[in-house]
Amino acid sequence: MKHFVYRLLALTILILPSWQTRAEEGMWIPMLLKQLNESHMQQMGMRLSAEDIYSVNQSSLKDAIVHFGGFCTGEMISAEGLLLTNHHCALGQIQRHSSVANDLISNGFWARSRSEELTNPGLFARFLIRMEDVTKSILEGISESTTEEDRQRIITERIAHLEKQAVENTHYEANIRPFFYGNEYYLFITETFPDVRMAGAPPASIGKFGGDTDNWMWPRHTGDFALFRVYTAPDGSPAEYHEDNIPYRPRHHFPISLKGVQPGDFTMVFGYPGRTEQYLHSRAIEDIIENINPQRIALRDMRLNILQAEMDKSDEVRIQYTSKYARISNHHKKWVGENWGLLNFNALDRKYARENDFARWSSKRKNRKLYGGLLNQIQEQYDRRQGLELVQQYRMEAILAPEIVMLAYRLNPFLKLPDNEEQKRKILEQAETMVENHFKDYHTPADRQVFVELLSLYIINIPEEFHTESMKEHANNLGSLFDASALKNESFIKKILQNPSDENINKLRNDVISIFLNEYESMYAQKVQPVLKETGDELDRLYRRYIQGLREMEKYRAFYPDANSTLRITYGKVDGYVPRDATSYLPVTSLDGVMEKHDPDHKDFTLPKKLIQLYEEQDYGIYKNEEGKLPVCFIASNHTTGGNSGSPVINADGHLIGLNFDRSWESTMSDYNYDPQICRNISVDIRYVLFIIDKFAGAGHLLEEMTLVQ
Ligand code: ARG
Ligand code: GLU
């Protein structure tokens, strides 16, 4: 007996410390913080309660968090609707308001009064009202013996029903999402404001300082921020732009701390991470490392080189392609870092070890029969789709990447016009806007090269059974295919849309590029899509069971679901890291480092004169740190991903200390494999943001509406 008690004690001691010193991994569900994270966060230094962060009964931090346009995060920083997000999240908007004569990318933009703010049709600010665990209602009565088909049908019906019921007689939206591959379901009630105006943005020489050269890298010196203002109808409800609209009054806005950060300080990031796959089988990771990443990196390499050369030739093309180039380059570079990280930090070994544990565990007891052979079944599905995921990548990165093909793709749905005149007119209007936007930023010579080079790579690297007739026919003169198309001609397309007779519409349908695309799509729909869909559904089912098993096996571990563009909290501490042998990084950069990088001969590192002058005068005001330096960026061990851009970085007291905008290159692998030793998120220090608004832009009037904490 005594022996048993000792063993129990030893066991508790073994379990407890590992629980307490658990690494900063995880993207946690706000409503479960109390249960899963609160005490750990407080041990790490947080002075808030879970209820301060997420509450349905009182105002809480979550009321200041915005899903910005659905692709980034933003936060409220004043009682009058002021919203802070990243410059790179706003780049599309900034570019749309720019021309050669009025280049807001290069010059920045500051609304001197509210009437100067710029409207952005299509952009929205979405707030979470509350969330709810609806797993029971969704899965009730569904069991292991329910067929997958029935399961899907029942769930879809229940979701539709619950979503409708949840927002009846309100102007809110309801959305139910699966978590842990469908082991759990959560309902999200949101409120969406479509009048979001641009209030300020620094020039790209600050907001994008370092450009694609420094992107994903530390040490970093980017002032990656922009300001918007959310407006509502006079009664406070969401409304499209109207001059009578008034600034939104949030239930909470972040106080801004001027105290800054020290190594070891607690930080958390609250926002909308897009997508991660933490539980992926080693087999899938192998494929990413060996095939998927190298190939899509090569395809984008090609595209970027072509675009860069064209942008260097003309300012007009540079403006047209700034935002597109940044988007293509961003993931290109991310995949390079991801592969490096996965290979150098033993992601596969960790996967193999866990899978071995699982196989052993599941074979041990009768009641674990459900999990026996699961990993082999997963492998079998990957065998069945062998090579097809690569075709899928090539469809995205080679076939649909030339803009002319994308245009044909986007025109397709407009070519089946309804009989109803009213509907028809609406659809044609939409088509025209789409076409105008396409040609505003279109440079034919660049696209021709992209088309020829990418299709050549497709033909070389993808097996012949996935080639189409027109591909084979033109394999040696792809340029002529491009040249024969009328989809380079804006007025031709617009005339057709203005006079959409059958004969005219057929001209679009029978364009060589439309035919090329449609041929490809039907091949893809026959040979690729069905197998991907079938194995994909089967994999979802198997992963659902796998995670259920893992959670049983690792009973004492807190599990977090993969990112799925729903609101999450991640927390960690300000910390440097050792990326490679004999190299160690400190966690904070300053304006001194910005100046070190300054290079008038390199477009990514050319600073505005005004900033150099402020540096020379050391005119940092209240924004400097104890050493008299102006802090610029810092890193911490928060587990973030794409979509977290613009997320508030919050200190132990719930005050804003920075704005998340990136991860270090070595940590982009954290979407599959978070490693606390080296995974770091990169944030711009809020004091640099305030300094730029105040001293650089002279937009101090914006500071007056903020709540600063000394
Ligand atoms: N890497 C960051 C993100 O994934 C920033 C991208 C924008 N910056 C750039 N230089 N392209 O979105
Ligand atoms: N820049 C990314 C974004 O736009 C965040 C970086 C990351 O992937 O962590 O969301």
Q: Is 88 noted as a catalytic residue in this protein?
A: yes
Residue 10 pLDDT more than 80?
no
Residue 197 β-bridge partners: 229
Q: Are 342 and 669 in contact (CB under 8 A)?
A: yes
Q: Residue 590 CB: number of other CB atoms within 10 A? A: 22
Which one of the listed residues 40, 87, 88, 253 is annotated catalytic?
88
Instruction: Give pLDDT, residue 370.
Output: 86
Any ligand 2 atom below 6 A from CB of 590? no
3-state secondary structure of 435: helix
Q: Quick check: is 645 catalytic?
A: yes
The residue with greater pLDDT, 296 or 23, is 296
CA 297/CA 331 separation, integer angstroms: 9
> In the structure, what pLDDT confidence band is assigned to residue 2 with cuts at 50, 70 and 90?
very low
Ligand 1: which residue has its CA nearest to atom 6?
Answer: 330
Write the burial class of residue 84 (CB in 10 Å: 0-12 exposed, 13-18 middle, 19+ buried).
buried
Ligand nearest to the CA of 647: 2
Q: How far is the CA of 667 from the centre of ligand 2 (A)?
A: 11
Angle at 565 between CA 36 and CA 167, to 5 degrees: 90
Predicted confidence band of residue 507 (pLDDT cuts 50, 70, 90)? very high
Ligand 2 centroid vs 660 CA: distance in angstroms? Answer: 8
Ligand 1 site-directed mutation target among 208, 323, 662, 668, most atoms within 8 Å of CB: 662
Neighbours of 187 (CB within 10 A): 21
Closest CA to 514 of 393, 413, 388, 398: 413
* Maximum CA extent, the chain: 92
Percent of the chain's residues with pLDDT above 70: 97
Residue labelled with tokens 């509907």: 423
Confidence of residue 22 (pLDDT cuts 50, 70, 90): low
Q: Hey, what amino acid is at 339? A: N
Task: Specify the CATH number of the domain 30-276+560-709.
Answer: 2.40.10.120
Nearest C-alpha neighbor of 435 from the set 521, 518, 327, 508: 508
Q: Which of 67, 86, 88, 644 to mutate to test the pocket of ligand 2 (most atoms within 8 A of CB)?
A: 644
Instruction: State the residue for tokens 């044609």.
Output: 428
Please tell me the predicted confidence (pLDDT) of residue 528: 98
- Given a cut of 50, is residue 13 above it in pLDDT? no
**CA 179/CA 188 separation, integer angstroms:** 13
- Which atom belonging to ligand 2 lies closest to the Cα atom of 88? 4
Is pLDDT of 236 > 80? yes
d(CA 482, CA 491) in angstroms, rounded, equals 18
Contacts of 445 (CB under 8 A, 6+ apart): 310
Indicate the Cα dihedral angle 85, 88, 91, 92, nearest 10°.
-90
Nearest to 43 by CA among 16, 7, 5, 15: 16
Distance 208 CA to ligand 1 centre (A): 9
Report the sign of the C-alpha dihedral through residues 115, 117, 121, 125, in that order: negative
Stretch 378-399: mean pLDDT, rounded?
A: 97
User: Per residue in 27-82, pLDDT tens?
Assistant: 999 999 999 999 999 999 999 999 999 999 999 999 999 999 999 999 999 999 99
DSSP class of residue 602?
S
Mutate to test the pocket of ligand 2, among 645, 670, 684 (most ligand atoms within 8 A of CB): 645
Provide mean pLDDT across the span 12-20. 40
What is the rounded average pLDDT for all residues in the chain?
95
675 lines ligand 2 (CB under 6 A): no
Which of 257, 323, 362, 645 is an active site residue? 645
pLDDT value of position 416: 86
Q: What is the pLDDT of residue 325?
A: 95
Atom of ligand 2 at shortest range from CA of 660: 5
pLDDT band for 3, please (50, 70, 90 cuts).
low
- Residue-wise pLDDT for 598-648, tens only, equals 999 999 999 999 999 999 999 999 999 999 999 999 999 999 999 999 999
- What is the C-alpha to C-alpha distance for residues 307 and 284, in angstroms, rounded to an integer? 32
pLDDT in tens, 544-596: 999 999 999 999 999 999 999 999 999 999 999 999 899 999 999 999 999 99
- Cα of 221 vs centre of ligand 1, distance in Å, is 13
Instruction: Locate the ligand 2 atom nearest the alpha carbon of residue 330 and give its number.
Output: 1
Q: Whose CA is nearest to atom 5 of ligand 1?
A: 662
Residues in CB range of 102: below 8 A, 6 or more apart: none
Residue spans of the domains in the chain: they are: 30-276+560-709, 400-527
Residue partners of 488: CB distance under 8 A and separation at least 6: 404, 444, 447
Q: Answer whether 0.75 is exceeded by the pTM.
A: yes
Which residues have a Cβ under 8 Å from the Cβ of 597 and sit 6 or more positions away?
209, 210, 214, 221, 605
Span from the CA of 171 to the centroid of ligand 2 (angstroms): 31
- Cα→Cα distances 583→578, 664, 678, Å: 6, 14, 12
Does the beta carbon of 662 sit less than 6 angstroms from any atom of ligand 2?
A: yes
